[in-house]
Structure formats: structure tokens, C-alpha cells
Amino acid sequence: MSVAFNSDVNITVQIAFNTEPFATSQTFTDVSTYVREFSIDRGRQHDLADFQTGTASVLLDNSDDRFNPLNTSSPYYDSSNNISKIQPFKQIKISATYDGSTSVLFRGFIQSYPESFGGQGADSTVRISCVDAFKIFNLNTVGARGWQIGTAGFSELGETTTLGYADTQELSSLRIGRLLDSFGWASSLRTISTGDLQVKAGIPLTTNLLTALKDVETAEQGQLFISADGKVTFRDRNFKRTQQFNSVATFGNGSGELPFSDVITTLDDSKIVNVVSVTRDGGSEQLVQDTDSIAKFGARQESLSSTLNVSDSDALSIAKQRLAQFSTTSVRIDGLIVNPLSDTSLWTQALTRELGDKITIKIPTPASTTMEFDVHIERISHTVSAVSRTWTWQLRTSAGSEVASWVLGSSRLGESTNLAF
């Protein structure tokens, strides 16, 4: 059963003690009454960085020693097999319920159970360390070699190979799906949008699964991350521009706007890239540069090599896209800090916003002006204490304006768009 965080929100923390980590169906045990605090951190620093493995930490009251894996009297001890059910990689789920609607804030796998025996055991606690599926993918390799029908002497089905195919290219989203299939990742734990680019096909031999997935993300120039509810989420290169075009919330101090505790803006040179080199596997280097940016900031080069793109024109398009996006700098929002306890209208935002969502932030200045930013969420953090009843929700963001492409019959080339394919 969930426990009341306050009069508005209930917290639920569940662990699948009785189920193997990768089973399609998970049976969760509620441990909410023992939760003292938890924290969650998901996403990336900014839109030029990679999405990182999501993490969570949960501090549990262990005053009755139930979370001690050596305690044979624990309710989580399998006496018939003489083994504790408290094991690494058990699935965990952290949820919160507001106004009758439950949102999953984190779903992943337990990495460790460090136990503290404060007060000579009188105040024992366990701080569970958790990771999302990226950690699992990083520990595994994929790449069973495909058996090609009609190719004499290539392989014998069933000996060292599995039934596959010899296509030379496939849509990026299809490749993501095949990589997950090769690992046996449940289809119910995927949200994959249709890709925009073709990539080289075939599952590489002895390749780290996370690396293989990220190689597709790079070739597509999309976004790949684990959502709050534990789903592998893949978005095509145009997703932000086409699917997240409208802002879903406005934070500020005006009428009808959502209040925030603090906001941090930054203007620096950390994201400037004005020389971009992209070389696909088997292709020629595609090099573009912005001479005006180089004159202002010096040469800042980025190189992408051995990408899975199937043509040099695709590689050139990626180079031009990244140059247009990162060759200059502007004021950005590095931190939006929100206390949902200050206003009940904030709970829906804190519990339901996802990476990539577009929001608007209006900042009043000492000069009695207002700075307005349309941004995409890049990182989400929760810091929650069930003991002191505090909840801090913090976001990192990137600029919400995307490099738009020219669409025949709907826009004017050169005014606000670029020629693309």
C-alpha cells in the first residue's frame, strides 16, 4: 500500500523480490511504509551531451532487520531454498499519486543494498542504489550472426547462428527494435517513434548493446533514453520540432503561471561547435564550418566517425544540422528549481513531465523586465524526504527553438528554414 506524503500526494515504492529481473511479468512487493527518503536523477546535462544511465537512491528504515540479506527470519528470505530474495538487479518502481492519478517516477534495477547500523544497530537503515536499463544494456553484448538462405558455405543454421537476414540497410527505428529483440527486451517496455533515416543493417558481432543502440541514435540524430516508467524511448531527429512544438506549461510569477523557487541562467562557450566532421562507415569525410563563429570563438571541432549512415549526403546533412544548432551561444536555463509543496498546481507538472517536453520559463529581472525562454527538458531530478516532508523538483533544459527544414508548399526557403531532405 502507498503511504501519504502529505494531504495531496501518496508515495509508493515497490520491489520485485519474487521475480527474475528480466521476466516479462513482474510481481512487486510494497515497501512504502519503510521509505524515509529517495532521490531520482535522469537525463543529460544538455542537448550536446549523451543521455546517461538514470539513477535512484532509496533510504529504507531497517529497524526490524527485514532488509538484511543474512536474516533468515526476514519476510524476504526463501527458507525452502535457503536463499535471500534480497538480490542485485531486482526490479524497483517508485510512484506517486496525486488527485487520483498515479505516475511512475522511476523504474529500474537495484544495484546494491548498503546497510548502516547506526546507534549500534538501534537505527539500522538500508540505502538502496538503483539504475535504469542503460546499465543492463551496457553489461551485455549482442550480435548473433545471421544465417543467410541460399549462401552456400556461409553458415549452418542452429550451430553457431540464428535465423536472420542480409539486408544492407534499414530504418533507424527498425534497427532499434531488432537490437532490443536480440536481447529479449519486452515489447511492452518500448516507445519507439518511426525513424527518419536509413542506417546500415545487421547486428554487429560482440558489440556492447548500449553502444549499438547509441550508434543508431547518432546516425539518426534523435534521442534515446529510458523513460520514467522504464521504457526504452527512441525519438527521431525531427521529434522536438514536430511532436513537441507547443509548450505544455509556463513557469513564472504572472497570473495563471506556475511558481518556481529559483532559476539559474548561464552564458558560456561550453556548447560551441563551429567545425563539424562526419564520416560514415565506408564513406568520405563530410566537413562543414562556420567562419564567423571561428572568428569570434576560435575553432571548436566535433568529429563523428564510422557512423551507420548509408550515404555521404546523410552524413553531410547531420554535419550541417549540428553546425546550425551549436555554432553560436546564447543565454540558457541550467536549472529550474520547483517546490511543489508551495502550490498544488505544481504536482501535476512535477509528477508527469518527461524528458523532451517543451515548457516556457518567464524570469522577472531587477530591471523590471521579463526574460522569456522556450526550452526542452533535458534532465529531471527529484529529492524527497518522507521524514521532513520536503520535495524538490529540478530541471536542466536546452533551447526550445529547433533548426527547421523547408517544406514544399508550407514555408518560404531562406526566411526561417533551411533546405533539407
CATH classification of the domain holding 207: 3.55.50
The Cα–Cα gap between 389 and 56 comes to: 18
The Cα–Cα gap between 234 and 84 comes to: 36
Residues 58 and 108 in one domain: yes
Domain span at residue 258 reads 244-267+330-402
pLDDT at residue 407 in the model: 38
Confirm whether 421 is domain-assigned. Answer: no
pLDDT at residue 203 in the model: 65
Residues 254 and 362 in one domain: yes
Among 397, 411, 405, CA closest to 196:
405
Reduced to 3 states (helix: H, G, I; strand: E, B; else coil), residue 421 is coil
The angle formed by the CA atoms of residues 160, 164 and 165, to the nearest 5 degrees, is: 130
The Cα–Cα gap between 153 and 278 comes to: 37
Residue 280 CB burial class (10 angstroms; 0-12, 13-18, ≥19): buried
The Cα–Cα gap between 172 and 179 comes to: 11
Confirm whether 136 is domain-assigned. Answer: no
The stretch 306-318 carries a mean pLDDT of: 96
Residues 126 and 162 in one domain: no
Q: What mean pLDDT value characterizes the chain?
A: 89
pLDDT at residue 122 in the model: 76
The stretch 351-368 carries a mean pLDDT of: 96
CA–CA distance from 278 to each of 259, 273, 313, 324, 404 (Å)? 43, 13, 10, 14, 20
Percent of the chain whose predicted confidence (pLDDT) is above 70: 87
Residues 159 and 109 in one domain: no
Among 16, 21, 17, CA closest to 89:
21
Query: In the chain, how many domains are there?
Result: 4
- pLDDT tops 80 at residue 76: yes
pLDDT at residue 165 in the model: 45
Domain boundary among 237, 253, 283: 237
Per-residue model confidence as pLDDT tens digits over 161-218: 444 445 689 999 999 999 999 899 999 999 999 999 999 987 665 689 999 999 999 9
Domain boundary among 188, 217, 237: 237
Domain boundary among 94, 109, 131: 131
- pLDDT tops 50 at residue 153: no
The stretch 252-264 carries a mean pLDDT of: 96
- pLDDT tops 80 at residue 410: no
Per-residue model confidence as pLDDT tens digits over 214-242: 999 999 999 999 999 999 999 999 888 77
Confirm whether 164 is domain-assigned. Answer: yes
pLDDT at residue 362 in the model: 97
Residues 76 and 222 in one domain: no
pTM value is 0.89
